[in-house]
Amino acid sequence: MYEASPFEFVEEIDTKLTPAWFVDNTHKPELADAVGMNWAADLSPYGFGWAAEKLSFPTCRGIIWRCYKNLRFMISPLVIEDPEEIKRRREKFRDVIIWLADNFGPEWEKLKTEIMERYQPFREFDYANATAIQLARMIADIRHLAYRMIEIHFWALYGSLSFYSLFQEFCREEFGIDGSNKDFNDMLGGLDSKILQGERELWKLANMVRKLGLLKQFAAPAREVAPAIRGTANGDKWLAALSDFLDEYGFRCELCWVQASPCWRDDLCYAIEKVQHYLKREDFDPFKQMEQTKENRDIAVAKYRKIISPDKRELFELLLKGAQYADMVNQEHDFYCEMHCDAFLHMAVLELGKRFAQAGTIDDPYDVFYLYIDESRKMAPAPERWHLQSLINKRKAKAKEDLAKGIPDVISETMSKEEAYDWMVRSRDPNIIYTLVGELPKAQPELGADIIGMPGATGIAEGPACLIMTGEDLDKVKTGDILIAPTTGISWTTVFALVKGAVLDRGGALSHAAIACREYGIPCIVNTFVGTSQIKDGQRIRIDGARGAVYILDKS
Amino acid sequence: MDGKQALWFEEIGQESFNLVGKKNANLGELTKLGIPVPRGFAVTIKAEEAFLNETGALQTIRDMVSQAGDLRNISKQAKLSEAIRSMVESKEIPAAMKAEILNDYHELSAKSGKSGAVAVSVRSAGSQSHPGQYETVLNVTGDKQLLSMLKKVWSSIFNKITIAKLVQKGIPIDQSPAIGVGIVEMVNARCAGVGFTIHPISGDLANVIIESTWGLGEGVVGGKINTDRFVVDKASLKIVDKTLGEKKLQVIAEGNQVIEKEVPPEKQAVYTLSEEEAGAIAKIGMELEAHFKEPQDFEWAVDDSWKFPNNIFLLQTRPVVGVKDQKKKTMEEQLGELLERLF
């Protein structure tokens, strides 16, 4: 992708192969590395296509994919245009939906068990003491494992998100409400997930800090905390609890799909940083929050159960049950799918990088992430017989140069941005519409807002804007701020316990930030496109989640 | 006599239909649900059975029937009906039963907050639904009138239609099933009417159709008066369509009588319901439909003595028959339509 490669986006060729390309802003604002790009190119289109075929999704066969510079994935939906084909697929899809309504939950449990069993040898593998040859084999095994992982990943997402689309359509017709309505979102909230469970464990670790009298040590930067408390009775007690937590939840890289980013098990400071976020807010209780979300759900569901006409009740219940999985699976699949595989790949590649650095192939072990994994594997048998630093330096320089160029949201030869979005929506693919690309907000001059985005979570909030461009700056966030960011990733979840609301440049109704805000009961606006460029850090703003409106209150 | 002869609506529910009749059971259920229905109590089916037995009326009926001979002749049925009814109505209600009913009536009068005896409707309630088959008397006031109207409703199980049906089915006349009777506080109706939670013809379930006229709902139920018609969207509770009816006549309670009276032209020209009233009526309909799990045909009234939203009363409700079955789509069909809309 740094050199000429079929995955590299070439405007002259690629804009003729599909009507429009969209930048994928899922999972994190940070840029991918070579390993991550290569990995996603290998897995995502396959998983998308596999699940669309398996479920007979009527109007989309998945995505095609290119690498835009070394910066981002560009995607384009494989929209099905032939009405006969749509009809054929739709008929099968109806039976799939009816089957899934009763079986999605148990099936998802079965798949989680299957994948965790498959992960076991990879969790137990001794990466640190493996030889380069063993690591080369391990990387091949991880890729094989990841093929199954991505099938499960997209099966679960297509399944649950399709219910979300159908339920929204049903609610529009029957009740006149959709994703911008609090009741609608309330009905779908309150299902526990492995991600929320992990957050509650972090919160418990924060309470333990208070109980053990370690607050003073935790006021230091995250990196200094573990050395400061190690060797003291209470410090060791806390670190033992952290170690238990990491055994369960530590197989994750700080950034999703960025295997160069550190793994929580190897570098304690990432989990410690999350604990520090929870220490900032004493009154937050995720257990109470969970109860509140459940209560809101039950109230909303009871309300619409009352008004739904009796002959449509069965369909209402069927779609509701399926759609309630959408938020949950959309969060939880990260834990069961990419997080583990990211971590395994990170550990294997980094260890290989260490062997390479020892052999003089590269200078720094982390430079290995500037190599495609197939390149690294080929060098593994005799790394000392390769000298790659000049290639690495060239790639690093190119990355820096490309970054300065910026990334377009949409690339099309024939369509305006609006037309491109209209075309994309014809895919009806909920992964694309509600997560990867999001919807285009409509102008609403009557609101008199400074910025308009799409509703992510309802509610109104006012407070100082806190501009965060990457996950590294997250400790800047103060209680009561309104988060302004390009997009967010799963590792940002803790800050949603602190902020009053969030405004994201990119994202859809089922993006990480939108779901997290709904779980935490705060407003969220996504796909403003211009939030981070127009809102200044510290500026007072008011946001109205249901309308997607941002008001800048002090424009000085 | 065992047990109570009269039960407050609060004491009964849907399961009580064999005890007090279907309409009363419904009103009991609705009272429990918190739906605004007029206050009242039910005289049990057993009470009528006891009345007919203990007064000897039943035996007299058997004698009258055997003397009447061949009953296939309609004019003979009519004559017999008349004779039985006046005989039944001439009987004295047994003292204990009378005391219990009057006691409840006095309590109802006290609860109504009005001075003196409260005006009530005396409503028939069979254990099965037979709309319009038995008598219902409106605007009944005072002990004496109550008892005589109660007997009038009771005797309506021997009215011409019922006797004709019994003869047709070969059931002995004296086995005409007894009915429950509802003693229900009258609503001081400014306007009243019916509502359907399903379109009676198309089977469309998106709206509540409301028919409304000035005065008592008898004008609408009887089909005599050209009513206002409102179509209220179930989702938004907003009126999506309305048609002004001519409403030249209204049925009102005057003294002890229910009469038809002309509506002044200025009232003919305006709608009987405001948007919020129509919405509130529709909402009650939807609650009924949700609770009973099928589309409902219900009667309501707007009481002039109260202010919105406390002025709306439900009088009775029953499932809409005949429409649902032919129009009901299976869940799979509905899902197919939804998929076609979306994809």
Q: What is the average pLDDT score of chain B?
A: 87
B317 has a pLDDT exceeding 50: yes
Burial of A215 (0-12, 13-18, 19+ CB in 10 A): exposed
B322 has a pLDDT exceeding 70: no
* Minimum distance, in Å, between the CA of residue B291 and any CA atom of chain A: 7
Q: Do B343 and A86 touch (CB under 8 A)?
A: yes
Residue B219: the pLDDT is: 64
Residue A1: the pLDDT is: 41
Give the pLDDT mean for A79-87: 95
CA distances from A28 to A256, A257, A267, A406, A506 (A): 7, 9, 19, 16, 10
Contacts of A307 in chain B (CB under 8 A): 234-235, 286, 290
Give the pLDDT mean for A526-552: 96
State the Cα torsion B126-B128-B131-B137 to the nearest 10°: 10
Determine how β-strand B6-8 pairs with β-strand B40-43.
antiparallel
Bigger pLDDT: A28 vs A200:
A200
Question: Residue ranges of the domains in chain B?
Answer: 6-185, 189-327
Integer Cα distance of A234 and A499 in angstroms: 31
Work out the pLDDT band at B324, boundaries 50, 70, 90.
very low
Work out the pLDDT band at B255, boundaries 50, 70, 90.
low
Structure tokens at B106: 């006095």
Integer Cα distance of A418 and A202 in angstroms: 42
Give the pLDDT mean for A199-218: 96
Give the pLDDT mean for A93-107: 93
Q: B48: which DSSP letter?
A: H
Q: Do B290 and A310 touch (CB under 8 A)?
A: yes
Asked whether A343 and A270 are in contact (CB, 8 A), the reply is no
Give the pLDDT mean for B237-249: 88
Q: Do B286 and A174 touch (CB under 8 A)?
A: no
Choose from A309, A313, A314, A428 for mutation: most chain B CBs within 10 A. A309
Work out the pLDDT band at A556, boundaries 50, 70, 90.
low
Residue A555: the pLDDT is: 82
Integer Cα distance of B124 and B145 in angstroms: 16
What are the backbone dihedrals phi and psi of residue A140, each rounded to the nearest 5 degrees, phi first? -65, -40
Q: Do B335 and A59 touch (CB under 8 A)?
A: no
> Can you point out the beta strands (E) in A348-419?
410-411
Residue A32: the pLDDT is: 72
Residue B133: the pLDDT is: 79
Give the pLDDT mean for A457-471: 94
Q: Do B332 and A308 touch (CB under 8 A)?
A: no
CB atoms within 10 A of CB A384: 13
Helix boundaries (H) for chain B: 17-20, 22-33, 45-54, 57-68, 74-90, 95-112, 143-155, 160-169, 218-221, 265-268, 275-292, 324-327, 331-342
Q: What is the average pLDDT score of chain A?
A: 92
Contacts of A175 in chain B (CB under 8 A): 235
Give the pLDDT mean for A384-396: 92
Closest CA to A443 of A417, A409, A411, A406: A417
Give the pLDDT mean for B136-150: 91
User: Lowest-pLDDT range, A193-207, A285-299, B257-271?
Assistant: B257-271
A3 has a pLDDT exceeding 70: no
Integer Cα distance of A329 and A347 in angstroms: 26
Q: For A231-244, how does the pLDDT look when each residue is reduced to its tens digit (9 = 90+)?
A: 999 999 999 999 99
Work out the pLDDT band at B1, boundaries 50, 70, 90.
very low
Residue of B nearest to A306 (CA): B290
Give the pLDDT mean for A442-463: 94
List domains and CATH numbers for chain A. Answer: 438-552 (3.50.30.10)
Give the pLDDT mean for A442-468: 94
Q: pTM for the complete prediction? A: 0.66
How many residues appear in chain B? 343
Give the pLDDT mean for B249-263: 80
Work out the pLDDT band at B323, boundaries 50, 70, 90.
low
Residue B223: the pLDDT is: 61
A507 has a pLDDT exceeding 80: yes
Cα dihedral sign, A12-A16-A20-A24: negative
CATH number of B6-185: 3.30.1490.20
A433 has a pLDDT exceeding 70: yes
Q: B179: which DSSP letter?
A: -
Work out the pLDDT band at A311, boundaries 50, 70, 90.
confident
Residue A5: the pLDDT is: 67
Give the pLDDT mean for B281-310: 90
Residue A170: the pLDDT is: 95
Which of A98, A170, A305 shows the shortest C-beta gap to B290? Answer: A305
Residue A129: the pLDDT is: 97
Contacts of B340 in chain A (CB under 8 A): 90
B331 lies within 8 A of chain A by CB: yes
ipTM over 0.85? The verdict is yes
b/e per residue, B115-149, with b = 16+ CB within 10 A? Answer: eebbbbbbbbbbbeebeebbbbbbbbbbeebbbeb
CATH 3.30.470.20 for the B189-327 domain, yes or no: yes
B23 has a pLDDT exceeding 90: no
Residue of B nearest to A82 (CA): B343
Closest CA to A336 of A27, A117, A127, A19: A117
Q: For B48-98, how does the pLDDT look when each residue is reduced to its tens digit (9 = 90+)?
A: 999 999 999 999 999 999 888 888 777 888 889 999 999 999 999 999 999
CA distances from A349 to A142, A337, A537, B273, B309 (A): 11, 18, 38, 75, 70
Interface of A with B (CB under 8 A): 58-59, 86, 90, 93-94, 97-98, 165-166, 169-170, 173-176, 305-315, 318, 428
Q: Do B338 and A176 touch (CB under 8 A)?
A: no
Q: Do A310 and B335 touch (CB under 8 A)?
A: no
Q: Could you give the 3-state DSSP secondary structure of residue B21?
A: coil
Residue B146: the pLDDT is: 94
* Minimum distance, in Å, between the CA of residue A58 and any CA atom of chain B: 7
Residue A239: the pLDDT is: 98
Give the pLDDT mean for B306-325: 79
Contacts of B294 in chain A (CB under 8 A): 310
